[in-house]
Amino acid sequence: MEQIRRCPWCEDGSLLRKYHDEEWGEALHSDHKHFEYISLEVLQCGLNWLMMLKKREIFRACFDGFDYEKVALYDDGKVEEILAYPGMIRSPRKIDAIIRNARCFLDVRKEFGSFDAYLWGFSGGKSILYTDRQNHATSRLSDEISRDLKKRGFRYLGSITVYAHLEACGIVNDHSDFCWKYARLAENCVRMDND
């Protein structure tokens, strides 16, 4: 019996594998999920992704299921409530960034119709497969999107964080060549250089 091969980072047999197999790299077109992923990536800065997955339900409870319309209305009292929530990451700056990002997210939706249309517009609606297939932390695309998000007021979304989001939401296919998801997703990718 042939063993299913996966990207090496997810071979923990549990949460990372489940996230890899069910979410990571799949073409995402839900504003709700975009906001959740971006918020998780903000919370992850300086920490590890496995911790984010373990605390995901805590984060969902703290941020009303990542309902960006509700989060955009949070005040100082709500920040204190979030900081006191058992198991929550106690970083007022990250919590403030998520609230600010929710407000900016709404502005982007107003301008483009959806955050999804805005984000996928940078790649012409196509998923990208970089031809050099090296492990990247950033790309020209993530640099460009990060600069634009910062101009729009978003916080904690530097090029590395944006690149992680592009991988997560399927704009960039960074599955290992031998991973079972690579070939399936590569069929719908535009190949390009990352220089």
User: How far is 22 from 39, CA to CA, in rounded Å?
Assistant: 19
120 is a catalytic site residue = no
2 is a catalytic site residue = no
Residue with the two structure tokens 């600069």: 147
Which residue is catalytic, options 49, 68, 74, 163?
49
User: How far is 134 from 26, CA to CA, in rounded Å?
Assistant: 20
Which residue is catalytic, options 24, 36, 37, 41?
41
140 CA to centre of own chain = 17
Torsion over CA: 185, 49, 144, 140 (sign)? negative
User: How far is 52 from 40, CA to CA, in rounded Å?
Assistant: 7
Helix (H, G, I), strand (E, B) or coil at 173: coil
User: How far is 17 from 119, CA to CA, in rounded Å?
Assistant: 26
Question: For the chain, how many residues are written?
Answer: 195
111 is a catalytic site residue = no
Q: Which residues are catalytic?
A: 19, 41, 49
